[in-house]
Homo-oligomer: A and B are copies of this chain.
Amino acid sequence: MNLIQEGTVTTPAGFAAGTAASGVKYVGQLDLALIFSSYDCITSAVFTRNQVVAAPVIVDRETVKNGNQHVRAIVANSGNANACTGAPGLDNAYQMQHLAANALGCQADQVLILSTGVIGVQLPMARIASGINEAARKLARANGKQAAQAIMTTDTHPKHMAVQVTLGGGEVTIGGMAKGAGMIHPNMATLLGVFTTDAVVAPNLLDRMLQTAVNQSFNRISVDGDTSTNDTVLLLANGASEIRIVEEEDISQFQEALNTVCVSLAKMIVRDGEGASKFVEINVSGTPDDTAAHAIASTIATSPLVKTAFAGSDANWGRILAAAGRAGVCFDQSQVTLWIGLESATELQLVADGTPVEYLESEAAAIFAEPAFKIMLNLGAGPGTTTVWTSDLSHEYVTINADYRT
């Protein structure tokens, strides 16, 4: 697997993108993107589990319901989520789908839609319509990065990448882009992810591989515990490479590459989380099963007291244990061990048998003062294990969210 420099969703063969500054977000900022495939795509999708879902999610679920194998395009806008907008919002979502289909010369059920931004405000359809027409006129393979820019909300930079995988039959490419920043949490947050590949993949296999990749990436990150009404991850396989993924060896190589792209973009989202100044990996092990480990890691990752301690570079492990203890998983506190460390350096043990060991507070503080570090909690009660990634809770987070209306 090779990382492709400056790779995007249009790096795989047969994909193009066009963008526009339609005026939905701020005047002059890209806020509308079209992704177009020259060939019909097998499509897989993962949606938010929130009970309150935005109109685009309703429309996309409908569009991919029967294993849609003819998708040609995605139309995405930022600045307005078209969520909690009732029947008029649903009409607008269908209209957006039709407008894109008309502009691109395909059928409405060949278009998926994505929206992100403010909740509860109707889409300005005249702007959306002219934005779609402009973006369609600009379709080009070179516009992948612009598309990643157009879906940003409070993100500070576009997030995209692509990798090339050498399989038995030849080379295939996977591209991806994502936006995140706020409302980021397992299942999956205000997160839009678009992945493209020129491989030929059977629908069921594509579904399975996307779900596996999402479980290892976007479902393991948390910025603030809030999941959103619009979370959507799409994977389009247009088959342009004519390389079929059938053999076990090829499947496993492709899966690994897809995981890599998803995990990389997920980590980019955490690093660029609203107000984030720290990137923290939380490893939990020694639980009865992986689900229990995830419950504990997720509770630690969303604890305001833990996250403010991260922000303050305070290796306040008591808060970590207290958060673990309220995750709804039974364990014996006298079996707990806790280590902290940097990516590739000696680890420092803070707790053994549920009791603080002797260590230098200055060494612990030095680790927590780094921009990236990890904590390893073992509960000594089984083979369960997980890893999640999170950020700190800073003043900047409060500033962004007390002032910015999402």
A324 within 8 A of B: yes
Instruction: Say yes or no: A316 contacts B405, CB within 8 Å.
Output: yes
Shortest C-beta distance, A121 to chain B (Å), equals 8
A305 within 8 A of B: yes
A326 within 8 A of B: yes
- B-chain residues with CB within 8 Å of residue A393 when the two chains form the complex: 304, 398
Once the chains are docked, how many angstroms separate the CA of A311 from the CA of B353? 40
Instruction: Say yes or no: B401 contacts A333, CB within 8 Å.
Output: no
Once the chains are docked, how many angstroms separate the CA of A183 from the CA of B304? 9
Partner-binding segment picked from A155-163, A212-220, A223-231, A232-240: A223-231
Once the chains are docked, how many angstroms separate the CA of A319 from the CA of B324? 27
Complex interface residues of chain A between 362 and 403 (CB less than 8 A to chain B): 393-395, 397-399, 401-403
Instruction: Say yes or no: A403 contacts B312, CB within 8 Å.
Output: yes
Shortest C-beta distance, A117 to chain B (Å), equals 10
In-complex Cβ contact of A397 among B89, B304, B401 (8 A)? B304
Interface size of A as a range: 35 or more
Instruction: Say yes or no: A308 contacts B84, CB within 8 Å.
Output: no
Once the chains are docked, how many angstroms separate the CA of A2 from the CA of B121? 50
A344 within 8 A of B: no
Instruction: Say yes or no: A398 contacts B395, CB within 8 Å.
Output: yes
A120 within 8 A of B: yes
A317 within 8 A of B: yes
Complex interface residues of chain A between 322 and 360 (CB less than 8 A to chain B): 322-327, 329-331, 333-334, 336, 351, 353-356
A/B interface sample: 10 pairs, CB < 8 A? A50-B325, A86-B356, A88-B355, A89-B355, A120-B318, A226-B323, A308-B402, A309-B401, A312-B401, A398-B398
